[in-house]
Amino acid sequence: MSHWLKMIRTNPELVAYTEKLFQQGSHNIHEEAFGAKHKIMEQDHRYRKVYLIREGIAKCYISDENGKEFIQEFLGEGMEFGELEVFSNKLTICSVESITPLKVFSVSHDGFHQLLKTDPHFNMLILKALADKIRYKAPRHSYQHAYPIEDNILRLKKLFPELTEVIPKKDIANYIGVTTRSLNRALKELKEKSGA
């Protein structure tokens, strides 16, 4: 199955290498922890850190002027955020909020720049991670728009059976681009069809 079909994205190679750098005490990499439902980054603000998830799940989303969230992706172990702002030196594009308790590595923008310049392996892992982010988005969005809600739910449940136990229904609805009401109706219809 293609990696872009994974609902909660992970990058074990990047987190393992960052763990190694952290254990060596190089590049001023720090450990941080956040409780569930903690907004770590807010859209249209400026931050000076890059984060890498060691453990837990977060959501990355854009809010419109009415407060409606559009979830870009769910981030799991090894996924980084805040790195785009290092390259653009602009305000954040998305908000990032923990869904479960989160353990992360953090590094300042200067430390991140230094790592990219002096560590070719780290640099390659970040380039690959950025390429994967781009590669992931287009097929996911096209699938969601091309198929009915029920198909999207069945596909997500196949990829992540405990979907509705771990991720709030509001977030699932925002991820597939429907209202919570439509999602509840589709879940109920699927349950009736399966005879559960």
E strand or H helix that includes residue 81: strand 80-81
d(CA 183, CA 172): 8
Average pLDDT, integer, range 129-147? 69
Q: Where are the domains of the chain?
A: 3-137, 147-194
Question: pLDDT value at position 142?
Answer: 56
Exposure class string for 60-82: b at 16+ Cβ within 10 A, else e = bbeeeeeeebebbbbbbbbbbbb
Question: pLDDT value at position 154?
Answer: 75
Task: Label residue 171 by pLDDT band (50, 70, 90).
Answer: confident
Length, in residues, of the chain: 196
DSSP, collapsed to helix, strand or coil, labels residue 112 as helix
Task: Label residue 4 by pLDDT band (50, 70, 90).
Answer: very low
Name the DSSP class of 163. Answer: H
Q: Is 15 exposed, middle or buried (0-12, 13-18, 19+ CB in 10 A)?
A: buried
- Total-model pTM: 0.76
> What is 3-137's CATH number, 3.30.70.1340, 3.30.1280.10, 2.60.40.1180, 2.60.120.10?
2.60.120.10
Pairing of strands 8-9, 69-75: parallel
d(CA 13, CA 9): 13
